[in-house]
Amino acid sequence: MTTAKPGTMPANPKFSSGPCAKRPGWSLQSLHDALLGRSHRAKPGKAKLKLAIDLTREILGVPDDYRIGIVPASDTGAVEMAMWSMLGARGVDMLAWESFGEGWVTDVVKQLKLQDARIIKSGYGELPDLSTVDSKARDVVFTWNGTTSGVRVPNADWIAADREGITICDATSAAFAQDLDWAKLDVVTFSWQKVLGGEAAHGMLILSPKAVQRLESYTPAWPLPKIFRMTKGGKLIEGIFVGETINTPSMLCVEDYIDALNWAKNIGGGRALIERANANTKVLADWAAKTDWVDFLAADPAIRSNTSVCMKIVDPAVTALPDEAQAAFAKSLASTLEKEGVALDIGAYRDAPPGLRIWCGSTVETSDIKALTPWLDWAFANAKSELATA
């Protein structure tokens, strides 16, 4: 028996966890002032890049003595630059509770082959025991928000204020939507295409004075590709952090990032962005609380993401199915909603448990999340009806 379709559709069906939805009101015309056909090293090009850095500092509240650089290869490039340039000076604790954290573990263990690397893991939907991390004496690498698990650290209280090592934080789906404790973070990375819905391929690398000291006082045992080199003659290449990028950036993408930053500034800055993401997630939380077929992958509300919201199907008729059938059922929900033009790209990440992943970041309108929930119920009811008659 087919359930009637809801009467209202989301105005914007784009709920992908990356690249994420563009800011409300965006159009290609918004980029009319892009510096195209000019060198990024010309004065106007460097001014655009410096503006992107300055607005990033303003919106995120980055301390004045932290450097901010635009680097190649998205968040991945920024994290790799930091790990390959800084790790190996002392032991490191590697935290992983989802696929991207697992990727950083692989790099450290199998590529850098660091002997003194402790791996601290937990499964999807959980955090590892943060009290076991030795942030006082060792370096620490972790994701602030697990994009593929919907799990974030609740705060940075577990990081020692008087630490001897450095902390490297992949904050790509947290920056602009969650409070980052800058005093506890020495390297922070993110990409434009996450919370602000920018275009891909560019990463941001933010360094504390302690991170700069590490770069200037430590030379790793392995060779560094040119694209990773941040020092020359034992000194930081300051130009990287005032807009003199290592490689050629897309000035169209730069303009798009500036547009998103200006939008953020105009609606109230970083706090307004966080409030928008929180409001979006609350809609899903309220819906899940009264819906018996779905729940958050993260059982503990204190560690639930307010951007990459991961949900699991808990209906007994579905959980009784073999694993492959459960995965197929979840995929059918996402596929049905995509065919209806209601929600695009909301299936769980390929390595994650089967379910749904709905982006609730700051560029998503709360009204669209509200319009989505009846459609989720509709898709589930019809899929379950088909399951019963199969």
Give the model's pLDDT for residue 389. Answer: 82
Is the pLDDT at 388 greater than 90? The verdict is: no
Scanning the structure block, which residue is given the tokens 């994701």? 143
Per-residue pLDDT of 250-267, as tens digits, reads 999 999 999 999 999 999
Per-residue pLDDT tens over the stretch 167-182: 999 999 999 999 999 9
Model-level pTM?
0.97
- Does residue 360 surpass a pLDDT of 80? yes
144-199 pLDDT, tens digit per residue, is: 999 999 999 999 999 999 999 999 999 999 999 999 999 999 999 999 999 999 99
**Average of per-residue pLDDT values in the chain:** 97
Q: How much of the chain exceeds pLDDT 70, in percent?
A: 99
pLDDT at 3 over 80: no
Is pLDDT at 1 greater than 70 in this prediction?
no
pLDDT for the residue 68: 98
Report the CATH fold assignment for 269-385: Aspartate Aminotransferase, domain 1 (3.90.1150)
* pLDDT for 26: 98
Q: Is the pLDDT of residue 124 over 70?
A: yes
From-to residues of CATH 3.40.640.10 in the chain: 38-265
The ranges of the chain annotated as CATH 3.90.1150.10 are 269-385
The CATH class of the 38-265 domain is alpha beta
With bands split at pLDDT 50, 70 and 90, how would you rate the model's confidence at 344? very high
Give the model confidence (pLDDT) of 42-101 as tens digits.
999 999 999 999 999 999 999 999 999 999 999 999 999 999 999 999 999 999 999 999
